[in-house]
Each structure stands twice: as C-alpha cells, then as structure tokens.
Amino acid sequence: MKSIKTFAAVIALSVMPIASFAQSVTACDTTLDVAEAQIAAKAHKLGAHYTITEANYNNGVHMTAELHK
C-alpha cells in the first residue's frame, strides 16, 4: 500500500511543473494582426510559445491565448 502512495506522489509531482506554467493572456486592439503581435510579444518576453484560444471582433478585437514553455 505504501508503494502505491509513493508512486502516486511521484506521478503527481512530475506532472505539476508542466501544468503550473500554463498561463492565459489577453490582448485588445483594432485588428487581428496587432492583437496577435501583442500576444506574441508577451510570449517572447516570458520565453514561451502561445496558442490562440479565442478571438472575437465587436467594434475591436479581443484575443485570448495560452502560453506554454
């Protein structure tokens, strides 16, 4: 039983650093290109890659992305 708990703890701790960095960022501007450039700049500053998860246009662009290391 103790070995099962130890194994579960090792698995949980090994996955934690990967999940702990995922960060959501947003940008608002007048065009998709400028909003994406803002997201790219934020990702570059943190040394991360980004995936755009949402973008909508309603008298301006609102874009959300998730940063990954």
Give a yes or no: residue 9 inside a domain: no
Tokens of 36: 């994406």
Give a yes or no: residue 10 inside a domain: no
Number of domains within the chain? 1
Q: pTM of whole model > 0.75? A: no
Q: For residue range 40-67, list pLDDT tens digits in order.
A: 999 999 999 999 999 999 999 999 999 9
Give a yes or no: residue 67 inside a domain: yes
The full length of the chain comes to 69
CA angle 23, 54, 32 (to 5 degrees): 105
Give a yes or no: residue 3 inside a domain: no
Alpha carbon of residue 58 to chain centroid? 24
Q: For residue range 14-36, list pLDDT tens digits in order.
A: 555 555 568 999 999 999 999 99
Give a yes or no: residue 34 inside a domain: yes
Give a yes or no: residue 13 inside a domain: no
